[in-house]
Amino acid sequence: MNEKVTFTVDGKQLEGKQGQLLIEACEDSGIHIPRFCWHKRLDPVGMCRMCLVEIDTPRGKTLVPSCTTQVSEELSVETESDTVKKAQEGVLEFLLINHPLDCPICDKAGECPLQDQTMAYGPGESRFIEEKRHFEKPIPISDIVLLDRERCILCARCTRFSDEISGDPLIEFIQRGNKTQVNTFPDEPFKSYFSGNTVQICPVGALTATSYRFKARPWDLKKVSSTCNCCSLGCSVELNVSQNKMLRILGEDNEFTNQGWLSDKGRYNFEYLHSENRLLNIQSRENEDFQTINISDAIEKIKNKIKDLDNPDIKFIVGANSTNEEYFAINKFANSLNRNEFLSKDKSNVYFADDHIYNGYFSDEYTNATFEDLDTSDAIVVWAEDIKDNLPVLFLRIKKAVKNGVKLVVFGHTNTALESLADHYFGAEIVSNNFELKTSLSNIQELKDIIDSKKVTTIVGKSTPLQKKDSLDTLINHLQKVSDLKIFNCFSRANTFGAIQHIDQIKGLNDFCTEYEDSNKNIVFTIGANPVNSSFFGSKIKDILEDTEYVVSLDIFKNETTELADLILPTTAFGEKEGTITNMEMRVMKQNKILPDPGSTLSEWEYLIMIAQSLGKDINYDSVNQLNSELANQFTMTEALPTFDNLNKPSNLFGILNQKEINLNIKDVDQDSPSLLMVKRLYGDSSTQINSPSISMLGSERFIELSESTLDKYGIKSNVATLTQGSSSIFVNIKLNNLLPDNLVLAPINRRGFEKLDSTKDFDLKETKNMKDLSVN
Amino acid sequence: MSWETDRLEKAKQIIEMYPQKRSALGPLLYLAQDKDGYISNESIVEISGLIGITEVQVQSVASFYSMYKQEPTGKYLLSVCKSISCEISNSTDVINSVKNFTGLSNNETDDKNFFTYESVECIGACGGAPAIQVNYETIEGLTPDKAVDLCKWLKEEEPEIVVADELQDKFGGVKSFDWAIADNNGATSPVPGFQTYDTSKEKK
Amino acid sequence: MKETLLLTKHMRENPEDSHSLKSYEKNGGYKSAKKVLKSGTPEEVLQEIKDSNIRGRGGAGFPTGVKWGFLAEDEERYLVINGDESEPGTFKDRILLERDPHQLIEGMIITCFAANISKAFIYIRGEYAKPARRVQSAIEQAYEKGYLGKKIFGSSMNLDIVVHLGAGAYICGEETALLNSLEGRRGEPRLKPPFFPAVKGLYNKPTLVNNVETISSVPWIMSNSGKDYSSLGVEGSTGTRIFSLSGHINNPGNYEIEMGSSFGEFVDTLGKGVKNKAIKAYIPGGASAPWLRGDQLDVKMTIDDVANEGSMLGSGAVVMMDEDTNLVLAAKSLVSFFAHESCGQCTPCREGTTWLENILERVASGRGRLSDIDLLLDVCDNISPGLTWPPKMTTICPLGPSATASIVSLMKDFRSEVEVLLPKKVVIG
């Protein structure tokens, strides 16, 4: 129903789409109607009454709210008549009678819709001489959000967001009439992965974030667009910097990816950039200590080591946070160092530090999906790791699609957070504890009804690193056969897709461990990766790195992996380098530089090119632009190459879709049924998070998730327990999740204390009654 | 789990009556208030689990309506009407006399949790203005003196069941309309006495 | 003038037990429903209602037949009876619920037959505990006799009725706010469009929301005929209505009369006049209605006549104010009512009504300013632009404009009573 209608506004003829909201249609044509409660991405409620306009009706002119009126053929609208102006002045006067004069101390001043609209549409003076209403101000409603109820104009944007968009309505209106206030329930704080969005959409300074309070005025801020690199969704962000410090990250409305929203991790995980623990100088291990040395000495050391070892195997473990240009440089460097003169596929030596990686479905017979397909499909089928924790904004996109009628099918057991949205959740009766299918998919009638001959978008990936890929193959084969299928390969870490696009052949850490045994005289480069802490194979890798001849780590913080390095090269981080990343739609998106390189840091590619040159290799790149132009030309669609110039064009600000061949050669795992499932939570103990004070405490809780029947088997009655395995002993909170099958316990892999656990070995849960049982880690 | 078995039983019966669970929120709040004298936070947590919405959503509804009390309420809730028909019929004097006798101001409960006083909006007894409700049992046609007598009687007798007809005969005056047959059903706590919610009893 | 008893006939004649099933049936009750279910058709019922020209008795006065015609098709439809009578001055539904609940039930059976509905709710305000008990007992008696539940009167129709108590919110008398309240939400009115109850009502299904008195009239209409009903009263206000008379009057109470006589006649004959005093002003239709002066008692008690005088017949609540009434305090009481009952969704009502209350409080207690009269009227204008009749709204629902009615009346006809409270203008020199 997208027929065009023509309607008149203030005498001008405008065009809109049938069914479109009047306020939006006017906005598209450049006519701004003031508003508070209406937001493009929320359902309209018509509560603030600021958007009132006059329309002609058979009964004369009437004031209607333009946010709840749809355009229709021959609608005649006036936005500047005397009646409208009086109504606008009236509404502003009403809003201001209880609003405190906090502008001098309010974060929102300078970017405040209430200020702006009062100046533009307000009455100039208030006639209110009574007592304003008072509340205690501000009150913390969660660890990161504060609420000032005096400033609140009760537009309900925050409550509507929490209810409609994020699905965790932990804030609501209390009481009625003039006494209405927004609040939480006592002891139930606003603990949502998306609470920061309410701070951004609040039209006044009622909701503020602890990390930004009193830090800057908007006119002091330098701003640049970029793309978040917390996960592979590719949320468009605006970085706000003042005096060379990153102070705030806002979500930008990218129609293709995040549509304005961010997860709290993407929004608040930036303070680490200015942490005093940041690596600023090159550290070289002399005996037991690290000493600072300069770049030429460092390069000399590496060169000498490589020569001394006489053609060693050189292995690279790369993380997910590098840009495409950096992966391109790593690839060039790695190829140039290959033992054989000619590259043969089996000799590739780059390993990706995410255990979830496997070969995936990238060949030509599969069609890659975009997020728009979530909205236009008939059904979404999910078999992947926990989407809410690893790709939070994708959770919002799925929720939106379901709200608009798309069917959702979810396979267990790592996506229990999607169960309330799903039309069908296939748990223990269909999926074994080992993530194998217990029955043939064509036997499941509910599945047939939803997907046969329908348009299906599937989000597919390993639920857990130790899962075999057989059931995924079965699923994809079946879906490919019976439906019109589009695929999202669910690799959730930031620029995984950039890595697999630009590194000729990438392998997994499993391969790293097995291939290390066959090689000797090794040099290992770890680039932006901390496998000792975050990988399932961490302890094995630790042994390997201790055994390795020479380890060079490129990173931004000291961590468990750099502890084993012989040379640490400090690198630039998010916001300090220009580059591109590729999201899970294969959309190439721009990241921009707004901060200077701190200390003596250099970008990863700069180190590698310098080392390559010192070894006499013929690699010459003077700028990241050069890297970018060369890699852009490797893409298939020549009319849409992701060069910096192209991406900086206004029409491409939200990314360019393109194709590039992907070759993965990762051996699958072969593992028995785990009893302890290690899953990554959104908040954890990564070095970036623990060095960002505003959110560092969010990843501190130690808990396990299990069903009530499993808990009964251990004879535990309380909501705390001690998890023991070998010599490890962890005091944990118990979270009951009855969607989990019997004998399956979920534990977070990225929380302190859990890194010592081995999910293939047995463990025990003991009732804990008193403080004596607490483990002291 | 803070609710007793029979209250939970009743709750489940009530939820069955409605096509969607959330509709039972109103009655469940009355159930909570009837047993505890007010809607405690524990009850809100219980109700939130029974219906499947968050605690703050339950609180949002509970705090919207004036008959759901979230502070401990006395055994007898005295509600005096102050809307137009009662206002122009001297309800102010009745209000003052009750306030003076009980020593309470609006929405206050005394230390012994015996009386709670509140000034309320129109209770539909305009023909018998000024009017009062004791635990939502209406007595019409009061005078300031009769109102005080009523309070005294409640204090002395401490009836288990408050019956409107009985109190009207003792202390009331002009009625809005002919109440006809005397009725011995009444309320047992400061929630409306209604048999579906088990909050009414008959005085024998 | 005399009362014409249709709705209140049974209860007047059988005071001992008019609310019991036995008494109701003995006096001809449920005959209408039985006949309709046995040999009538839904179309016939709808036609009779249309022929009767009965208009909603809740306050808005919308033609009931037209409303029933709007009900959209769907498997799942509901009937909700609006028993949230909270308009100050009104107590007519109370007598219908308390003394003749079976009449309502019979009306509901016929309505549900006509609209193919099998689940109905009666929303009764929480303060009406005794009427609610009577209704619930009546429903239980009806279930026992097979007049509710499965296969009513041996026909193929099923009907379940649930009594739902409100909890002290006047705004829940607004039909969409009532549906929200019935769904277990805050009683906030919904936007119309798109949430017209006939299309998207309870649980987003087509719903009929009708007042207690309206549906209670249905059995009589079906027993006699729509035309017979329409011959009572006058054109545009057919049938009989129960008026609640209160305030400064000798004989307050509920009176059922055909519409068309004047207020003066009503007050003198049936109300037996005001206690030896003149009438200064009166409210013709509940707290939301603008006041009429004592010299306007010749206005006829019909929906259209009162509307022409710039007021409304509304819920049929007539409140008399004699010459000694302090009208400023009366206005304050009314404004304070609306401020307390505002749901808080939209800005003008939420902030404006309390502001009006505060200003009137100052004025009434002698702390008013000269500019306060204009301020009051301007604030009212920002809630109800132009202070026209029928009122325009900047708000979501008519509660906001209702709050302004008393202030506008006060300033229009009784301005001197306000001016006397304000400081004198000082002329220097």
Contact C348 A86 (CB under 8 A): no
Kindly identify which residue of chain C lies nearest to residue B202, measuring between CA atoms.
Answer: C133
For residue A418, is pLDDT > 60?
A: yes
CA distance C218 to chain B (A): 23
Residue pLDDT, tens place only, A446-479:
999 999 999 999 999 999 888 888 999 999 999 9
Comparing A88-92, A619-623, B75-79, the range with the smallest average pLDDT is: A619-623
Give the mean pLDDT of chain A: 91
CA distance B59 to chain A (A): 7
Kindly identify which residue of chain A lies nearest to residue C343, measuring between CA atoms.
Answer: A177
Chain B environment of A169 (Cβ under 8 Å): 53-54, 56-57
Residue A97 forms contact with C (CB below 8 Å): yes
Between chain A and chain C, how many beta carbons pairs sit less than 8 Å apart?
95
Mean pLDDT of C339-359: 96
Backbone φ, ψ for residue C66 (5° rounding) = -65, -45
Give the mean pLDDT of chain C: 94
Give the Cβ contact number of residue C41 at 10 Å. Answer: 11
Instruction: Grade residue A187 by pLDDT with cuts at 50, 70 and 90.
Output: confident
- For residue A369, the model assigns a pLDDT of 95
Q: Chain-centre distance of CA A316, in angstroms?
A: 25
Contact C385 A83 (CB under 8 A): yes
- For residue A466, the model assigns a pLDDT of 83
Distance CA A67, CA A45 (A): 8
Cross-chain CB nearest to A169 (options B44, B57, B64): B57
Instruction: Grade residue A504 by pLDDT with cuts at 50, 70 and 90.
Output: confident
Contact C91 B133 (CB under 8 A): no
Kindly identify which residue of chain C lies nearest to residue B86, measuring between CA atoms.
Answer: C247
For residue B109, is pLDDT > 50?
A: yes
Instruction: Grade residue B180 by pLDDT with cuts at 50, 70 and 90.
Output: confident
Distance CA A551, CA A568 (A): 9
Per the CB < 8 A criterion, the answer to whether A668 and A508 are in contact is no
Distance CA A106, CA A104 (A): 6
Residue A183 forms contact with B (CB below 8 Å): yes
CA distance A172 to chain B (A): 6
Helices assigned H by DSSP within A583-686: 604-614, 624-632, 644-648
Per the CB < 8 A criterion, the answer to whether A521 and A312 are in contact is yes
Residue B60 forms contact with C (CB below 8 Å): yes
Residue A47 forms contact with C (CB below 8 Å): yes
Kindly identify which residue of chain A lies nearest to residue B42, measuring between CA atoms.
Answer: A186
Residue B196 forms contact with C (CB below 8 Å): yes
Distance CA A213, CA A618 (A): 51
Nearest to C409 by CA among C317, C263, C302, C285: C285
Cross-chain CB nearest to B60 (options A173, A186, A188): A173
Per the CB < 8 A criterion, the answer to whether A468 and A670 are in contact is yes
Residue C130 forms contact with B (CB below 8 Å): yes
What is the reported pTM? 0.95
Residue B17 forms contact with C (CB below 8 Å): yes
- For residue A340, the model assigns a pLDDT of 45
Instruction: Grade residue A500 by pLDDT with cuts at 50, 70 and 90.
Output: very high
Chains touching chain B through at least 3 C-beta pairs below 8 angstroms are A, C
Q: Is A189 exposed, middle or buried (0-12, 13-18, 19+ CB in 10 A)?
A: middle
Contact C125 B128 (CB under 8 A): no
For residue C242, is pLDDT > 70?
A: yes
Mean pLDDT of A597-601: 94
- For residue A770, the model assigns a pLDDT of 58
Residue pLDDT, tens place only, C123-151:
999 999 999 999 999 999 999 999 999 99
Distance CA A5, CA A19 (A): 9
- For residue A310, the model assigns a pLDDT of 72
Residue pLDDT, tens place only, A303-345:
888 888 877 788 999 999 999 999 999 998 888 876 544 334 4
Contact C168 B126 (CB under 8 A): no
- For residue A342, the model assigns a pLDDT of 39
Cross-chain CB nearest to A94 (options C343, C345, C347): C347
CA distance C69 to chain B (A): 25
Chain B environment of A177 (Cβ under 8 Å): none
Residue B48 forms contact with C (CB below 8 Å): no
Cross-chain CB nearest to A177 (options C350, C362, C394): C350
Token pair of B159 as six digits: 């009836």
CA distance A639 to chain B (A): 51
For residue A34, is pLDDT > 80?
A: yes
Distance CA A595, CA B192 (A): 66
Chain B environment of C163 (Cβ under 8 Å): 194, 196
> Which residues in B have their CB inside 8 Å of a CB on A?
41, 44, 53-57, 59-60, 63-64
Chains touching chain A through at least 3 C-beta pairs below 8 angstroms are B, C
Comparing A67-71, A419-423, A772-776, the range with the smallest average pLDDT is: A772-776
Distance CA C232, CA C224 (A): 12
Cross-chain CB nearest to C85 (options B19, B23, B124): B124
Residue pLDDT, tens place only, A364-406:
999 999 999 999 999 999 999 999 999 999 999 999 999 999 9
Residue pLDDT, tens place only, A601-639:
999 999 999 998 888 888 899 999 999 999 999 999 988
Residue pLDDT, tens place only, C149-193:
999 988 999 999 999 999 999 999 999 999 999 999 999 999 988
Distance CA C117, CA C198 (A): 13
DSSP class of residue A368?
A: B
Per the CB < 8 A criterion, the answer to whether C178 and C208 are in contact is no
DSSP class of residue A431?
A: B
Non-local (6+) Cβ contacts of A682 within 8 A are: A193, A263, A265, A388, A389, A390, A392
Residue pLDDT, tens place only, C58-70:
988 999 999 999 9
CA distance C307 to chain A (A): 17
Chain B environment of A173 (Cβ under 8 Å): 60, 64
Between chain B and chain C, how many beta carbons pairs sit less than 8 Å apart?
198
Per the CB < 8 A criterion, the answer to whether A284 and A290 are in contact is yes
CA distance A133 to chain B (A): 18
Mean pLDDT of A681-699: 92
Write down the ipTM of this complex. Answer: 0.96
Cross-chain CB nearest to A46 (options C186, C191, C342): C191
Of residues A358 and A673, which shows the higher confidence score?
Answer: A358
Residue A176 forms contact with C (CB below 8 Å): yes
For residue A774, is pLDDT > 70?
A: no
C-proximal residues of A, 276-305, CB under 8 Å: none
Contact B44 A185 (CB under 8 A): yes
DSSP, collapsed to helix, strand or coil, labels residue C22 as helix
Comparing A303-307, A740-744, B96-100, the range with the smallest average pLDDT is: A303-307
- For residue A308, the model assigns a pLDDT of 85
CA distance B165 to chain C (A): 10
Distance CA A239, CA C297 (A): 71
- For residue C429, the model assigns a pLDDT of 65
Mean pLDDT of A214-229: 96
Cross-chain CB nearest to B85 (options C128, C203, C246): C246
